[in-house]
Amino acid sequence: MDWSEVRERVIAVEAAELRARGREPSRYPSFEPVLTAAEIAEVEAQCGVALPEEYRTFLAEVGAGGPGPALSLTSLRRVNGRWGWVWDDDEDHPWLLDSSGPFVETEDWAGQQMATLRAAGHEPTVRDDDHGHLDNYREVFGDVGDEIWHVERGRGAIHISDNGCGMTGWLIVVGPHRGQLRDRDCAVNPPFEPYVDGHGRRHTFGTWYLEWLERRETAARQS
């Protein structure tokens, strides 16, 4: 993936959009700083998995967070000695990648919940259409039941973007769909939906990001 001049292109299109609205370009950085090779290696060692190459090179050449499809990318930062993905500067609740197993696709999620609950000595009751066996998790794990359910729901994936109104984007890091992205409405519990291009091909991080940038540049030129 060629990331040359992508950072500059994003900054330029943001400035053009502001000028079109009669505003001056922002004086603040659009992107988080890039990560060094040593920092990326530290992230991968902590997570126990290699990051998809397109995202890995983005971190090294463009930035560890910043503008992106929908609202923006989450920021990969070291928080209290551990690397996590931070949304809206909320460093109290970073997303910590769990690479202990593959990303659980929609058809496998019910079985994964049942396996977890049975391993804890609990026989699952009827699942809720919106939240699966969340009530069972709360019963078994108490105050941390919601967190365990949420972390397990995103196992093997990075919370890569927040898209507003409870919509989130996920980059799969472990399993057969490694490198692909998924979209999900976290307000309820619908299927994870693949991001696809105009030809129905599933996006990787690189194609997803560059398509967004090109679409934004086209809109700025037309305005």
Closest CA to 190 of 171, 172, 166, 174: 166
Cα gap 173→84, rounded to integer Å:
14
Residue with tokens 């890091």: 173
Both tokens of residue 169? 């984007």
| pLDDT confidence of residue 189 | 63
At the top level of CATH, which class does the domain 6-103+154-222 belong to? alpha beta
| pLDDT confidence of residue 185 | 79
**CA dist list (Å): 127 to 100, 147, 154, 192, 203:** 25, 18, 19, 18, 31
Single-letter amino acid, residue 195:
Y
**CA dist list (Å): 43 to 16, 59, 96, 105:** 35, 11, 10, 25
CA atoms within 13 A on the CB side of 165: 2
Across the chain, which has 223 residues, the per-10-residue mean pLDDT values are 95 90 78 97 97 98 94 95 95 94 86 94 86 91 93 93 86 95 77 91 97 94 84
Closest CA to 150 of 193, 195, 184: 184
> Domain spans of the chain?
6-103+154-222
Both tokens of residue 102? 């593959």
**Cα dihedral angle (7, 218, 196, 128), rounded to 10 degrees?**
90
Beta bridge partners of 184: 168
